[in-house]
Amino acid sequence: MILKIQNLLKGLNNSERPLKYFISRLFVHFPIFFKNFYFTRKNYKLSMSSSSLTVTMFEKGEKHLDFEENLFKSIIRQNDNFIDIGANIGHISISLKTHMPSIQCFAIEANPKIFKILGDNIRLNKLDIRSINCAVGEENNTTIKFQDSNSDDANSVISDKMLGKDNENLYIVNHKKELTVKSRTLDSLMDDFSISNNIRLIKVDTEGYEFFVLKGAKNTLKKTEMIFFEYWDRLTLKYDYTHHEIFLFLRSLDFEIYEISENLVIKDFDIKSLKLVTHETLFNKNQNLLAINKKLL
């Protein structure tokens, strides 16, 4: 208890918004009292849950993490299909669907606790978003081990390498609990969703597991115009692959890979404003990337 109070006081002292910080800690530690409460973020609502992502978004305000929302809004068009892999609490899907109700939106989240919050947020905003609780990988109808830490936006599939002694150079969040979750391929999920026309955008946020997500989606990627994903060497080390393998795979399917700069001015989407990834590109920090299908654009 003393340690919790010390951490609370330290957080209050360091926060730019101490009142919001204090309130956010209340709904982390006493979620039952905030069950029917929500806060507004731009054009949509989020329930006050104990999710670390929810807490951070509440404390830091509506401009926090709005870069991706604004980028995707510049890409998505009327009646497009959008797939959100690693949807977490659903803020991306909800933001896009609220912005453009005509799109078909599919949200996939592996962690059952976070999936429940995702469902609560979809219902809170009264949106028609198809959602499913599973991991996405290279093999269909299998089970995998998944982290269940307080840092829900950094949880990932657990690899043998993560459990080994020589894991100091790996980016791993501390977790006391592990989950066994069902894993599906994206190709099989698309059969369930019955998507017949092209997919405008797939967002993949799986903390280094992206390569296996994409390898289970070969048929889906043939009718996908763009893929947004992150890459960082420290994240993929735990799965024993590098950017060379994932880029070679995407290029074999006619995708070109572009950097998404943090300084990108987002207005109307324009490929010419993006920088093509080359052999000189460094990945010593987390880098947002956009793979674009040359055959479809």
Please list the residues that pair with 289 across neighbouring strands.
Answer: 229, 259
Tokens representing 32? 């039952």
- When pLDDT is averaged across residues 111-119 and rounded to a whole number, the result is 96
Mean pLDDT (the chain) is 89
- When pLDDT is averaged across residues 10-16 and rounded to a whole number, the result is 64
In which band, very low, low, confident or very high, does the pLDDT at 196 lie, cut at 50, 70 and 90?
A: confident
- When pLDDT is averaged across residues 70-75 and rounded to a whole number, the result is 94
In which band, very low, low, confident or very high, does the pLDDT at 10 lie, cut at 50, 70 and 90?
A: low
- When pLDDT is averaged across residues 208-231 and rounded to a whole number, the result is 97
C-alpha closest to that of 94 among 113, 63, 117: 117
pTM here is 0.92
CATH of span 65-293: 3.40.50.150
Question: For residues 91 and 61, is the Cβ–Cβ distance under 8 A?
Answer: no
Which pLDDT value is given to residue 12? 58
Which pLDDT value is given to residue 3? 52
Write out pLDDT tens, residues 233-278.
989 999 999 999 999 999 999 999 999 988 888 877 788 889 999 8
SS3 (DSSP) at 143: strand
- Which residue type is seen at 25? R
Q: Which class for 79: exposed (0-12), middle (13-18), buried (19 or more C-beta within 10 A)? A: exposed
Question: For residues 228 and 274, is the Cβ–Cβ distance under 8 A?
Answer: no
The residues spanned by each domain of the chain are: 17-64, 65-293
SS3 (DSSP) at 77: coil
Question: In this predicted model, which residue has the larger pLDDT, 9 or 116?
Answer: 116
Please list the residues that pair with 199 across neighbouring strands.
Answer: 224
Which pLDDT value is given to residue 219? 95
DSSP 8-state symbol, 276: E
Does the pLDDT of residue 47 top 90, yes or no? yes
Q: What are the Cα distances from residue 295, in Å, to 41, 245, 250?
A: 37, 21, 13
In which band, very low, low, confident or very high, does the pLDDT at 42 lie, cut at 50, 70 and 90?
A: confident
Angle (CA) 204 112 210, round 5°:
20
Does the pLDDT of residue 5 top 50, yes or no? no
Question: For residues 144 and 157, is the Cβ–Cβ distance under 8 A?
Answer: yes
C-alpha closest to that of 186 among 222, 141, 220: 220
Which pLDDT value is given to residue 264? 84
In which band, very low, low, confident or very high, does the pLDDT at 164 lie, cut at 50, 70 and 90?
A: confident
Q: Which residues contact 141 (CB under 8 A, 6 or more apart)?
A: 182, 183, 184, 188
- When pLDDT is averaged across residues 62-83 and rounded to a whole number, the result is 94
Does the pLDDT of residue 292 top 90, yes or no? yes
Question: For residues 97 and 83, is the Cβ–Cβ distance under 8 A?
Answer: no
Which pLDDT value is given to residue 9? 53
Give residue for tokens 């024993």. 240
Does the pLDDT of residue 232 top 50, yes or no? yes
In which band, very low, low, confident or very high, does the pLDDT at 296 lie, cut at 50, 70 and 90?
A: very high
Write out pLDDT tens, residues 205-214.
999 999 999 9
